[in-house]
Amino acid sequence: MSKRNNTLLEYIRPDGLRIITKRMPYTKTLKFGVITRVGSAYDDADKHGQFHFFEHMAFKGTSTKSQQEINRLRERYLLSHNATTGQLETQYFASVPANRLKEVCDLILDIYQNSVFPEDEIQREKEVVLNEIARNKDNDHRQAYFGLCQLLWKSNALRKPGTGSKEGLDNISRDLLISTRDKWHVPNNTIVIVAGKLVHEDVINLVNQYIPLKYSALPYHRHWEDEINDDPLIKINYVKKPDRNKAIIYSGLKIPVSIYSDLRQLGVFHIMVKMLAQGTTSILWNEIREKRGFAYTVNGGGFGHERLGKGLVFQIESLPNRVSDICSMVPEIIVDYKLDPDKFTNSKEALLDRFRISMQDPESWYDEIEETLLWHPNSTNKLNSYLSKIMKSYSAVTFDEVVEMRERLIRPEKIATFVITP
């Protein structure tokens, strides 16, 4: 356990369950979440959507609560709530007033470990998921994102959206859902994260009431090659879709995962991305929108997963007649256009201000804990005094470091482009 004067603490039970809390006594709320370290990347080939569908069905009733009772409690006590199926983790979470810790613990942890997956709900919920799949297929940005991933990676799980397919859903049964829960929803594969106005020991005591000690073998966690040294499979791919008036252009490349494990390097990366593609002083914005009027939306940022691979993407919406111009311009701009030292200082200070503000609420701290500590037991020192570490590391970044990182990472042969056009 971390030192008592720290506000971020971790407790690991004898059976492996991890409880991480961030005490924020000046807030009036808390965010509570329980996470299992498995997600859509583990779907069987013939059951695409297995873990996403499991998450949907978890809310259909437990051994102690009917679906109607779950819905009533959600409406009564939770300020906001959701569940998400990522590629390597699935989580159930809610924000509540700080005095409702017991209620959120009772509801979320019951759903997590005691769902019964009623047979008569399975077919109805499959149709709900089919609606979600249809919505995602109509989302051009989502299609462009996964289209780009399929150009950059050959076999990595980042290529595959997790919502599933009709064929995969057809092969999912109640027995499969139960065996999935029994295998993966075990203490040594479970992390509870709570951020807000709380007492660390109170959280531990409540979690222990709802999740009894249970010793079991740790489920096997797969590993994927990040393919960082491989060039794109295809440099550019066009998909034509009817009834569109605009084009969506995603250009991107893979970046080393190691950047995310070093605060100084992460600071260099974030400042570089902001200078290139974020905001009205960025190079892409000025060259593509301001100088030429070729686009309405211009943006960029990092994406991916620490245990799969990381990438950098530039997103542009344009009229179809400008696609060719933009596709040729983007690689040239992000690789060769001169960076401005004055804009470097502006970008760095803006990032520091925004980070300083963002770390004042439980939602931001929950997300930071989930992203940074999920796969690293006994690692809370990474985030204790995190704001001061960020400020110190980002403040020390130099203009020359940003120039060097761009020259090292962003090379023409590494860039791929996926376009959706009418």
Write out pLDDT tens, residues 244-292: 999 999 999 999 999 998 999 999 999 999 999 999 999 999 999 999 9
Write out the DSSP string of 316-371.
EEE-GGGHHHHHHHHHHHHHHSPPPHHHHHHHHHHHHHHHHHHTTSHHHHHHHHHH
Q: What is the pLDDT of residue 359?
A: 86
Domains of the chain listed by start with CATH number:
8-210 (3.30.830.10), 236-421 (3.30.830.10)
**pLDDT digits 0-9 by tens, 362-389:** 999 999 999 999 999 988 988 988 889 9
- 62-80 average pLDDT score: 95
Taking the alpha carbons at both ends of the chain, their separation in whole angstroms is: 57
Q: What is the pLDDT of residue 5?
A: 55
For 296-344, how does the pLDDT look when each residue is reduced to its tens digit (9 = 90+)?
Answer: 999 999 999 999 999 999 999 999 999 999 999 999 999 999 999 999 9
Residue 77's SS3 state is helix
Residue 358 binned pLDDT confidence (cut-offs 50, 70, 90): confident
Global pTM value: 0.94
Per-residue pLDDT tens over the stretch 136-164: 999 999 999 999 999 999 999 999 999 99
* Residue range 95-115: mean pLDDT, rounded: 97
Higher pLDDT, 356 or 4: 356
Q: In terms of pLDDT, which residue wins out, 402 or 386?
A: 402
